[in-house]
Amino acid sequence: MEIFILTLFIIFFSLERMASFGLNELNINHLGNHKDKVPEFFRNIIDDRTYLNSVAYTLDKGKLARLNLIYDTIVTLLILFGGILPWLGKWSESQNLGPIGTGIFFITGLSIILALLGLPLEWISVFGIERKYGFNKMTIKLYIMDKIKGVLLSILIGVPCLYAILWFMKATGSLWWIWVFGFIMAFQTIMLLIYPLFIAPLFNKFDFLEEGDLKQAIEKLCDKIQFSLKGIFKMDGSKRSSHSNAYFTGFGKSRRIVLFDTLIKELTIHQTIAVLAHEIGHYKLRHIKKMICIGAIGLFTSLFALNLLYDYPPLFKVFSLETPTNYGALALFSLLSGTFTFCLSPIISAISRKHEYEADRFSVKILGEKKSMEEALIQLTKKNLSNLTPHPWYSIFYYSHPTTMERIQAIREV
């Protein structure tokens, strides 16, 4: 049985890595075939210099993705077969903290190892590629402070959450996975409430949007579609990146609009309102609830599968763990689940793209005009140096949003 499990893992892992690598190479080569001139659709919209920068930016990200795939493959195999898991298990057990304490030490130790191994490529991305193209505005000091805050939050929030999960696994018998499912869903709901109030302000400054034409336009839009808000905030996103965004956070009467200062700077009032109408469309069309339900179904199914395997000795022996443990099962699940669910990526991406089309149509219909949304998409595409010509297969697997051309074409057909 151990041979069967190992063979199954090798097959799925190899397929996942080959598919990921192949799709990335397809995307790089596809872009290379279009790098000489602006695509016909954008010929009178985007200038040559901006297009060449977007090509160079996408190619650099693709090359880094190639390196990351190779590096991550080596790291994953070393973790699973290089003796790290059994060593970490013995070290955790030597602390004599009981089953739950041992589990916390084991999973925390594994998380630290993975985080440290991920730093080099993250550094290249943030301080190499993103800085090269003028996007990264973060200082080394701010980067380090963000990491420290992240570690502290992991200790304050993550460790108690992990304790609860391990306790449910130990104390609630064969139905532990249902209890864990309920706990995680409740935890996620609580985080939706406390994140905008207590966590996000640790990393960014949020100011009420000052009085003026933009605020009046937003309030008018919200009144028109009966969308209640707790507040409209401007966030200092420019201290980390020149990428722009806008989002909603919270739910119910605690909902708030957050605008990046970069977005306010880059878009006109009409374009900003079009983007916000799109985001409100996600709420009005219940996309958020639908994605939460999809996530809940995925979590429920995953926990059920874990329940079937978490005390199966051959599974643990394949990865050099002598005996089944709750924390070992959680660790293996986190390391292996991506390999066996990779084939679901196109489905999730397709659902997300469908929602984006629907939100675009909502924006156009609410505003009664198409020009602002189209102009906003073009402006954001130019400022973010988005890839105008991704390979179709790459887009199917990885793009949560339709391409700019696809979105504009759909808007024009409304």
Which residues does the annotation mark as catalytic?
279, 360
Q: Is 407 helix (H, G, I), strand (E, B) or coil?
A: helix
Which pair of structure tokens corresponds to residue 13? 């892992």
In this structure, are strands 231-235 and 256-260 parallel, antiparallel, or unpaired?
parallel
How far, in Å, are 104, 160, 223 from residue 101 at the CA level?
Answer: 5, 11, 52
Tokens of 239: 């201290």
Residue type, 95: Q
Provide Rg for the chain, Cα atoms.
Answer: 24
Instruction: Say if CB 384 and CB 244 are below 8 A apart.
Output: yes
Residue recorded with tokens 């006109």: 268
Identify the H or E element spanning 151.
Answer: helix 140-153
**Collapsing DSSP states into helix, strand and coil, what is residue 244?**
coil
**Residue 192: phi, psi to the nearest 5?**
-60, -30
Could you identify the residue written with the tokens 């089944």?
Answer: 324
CA 251 from centre of chain: 20
DSSP-derived 3-state class of residue 258: strand
3 state SS of 260? strand
Enclosing H/E stretch for 256: strand 256-260
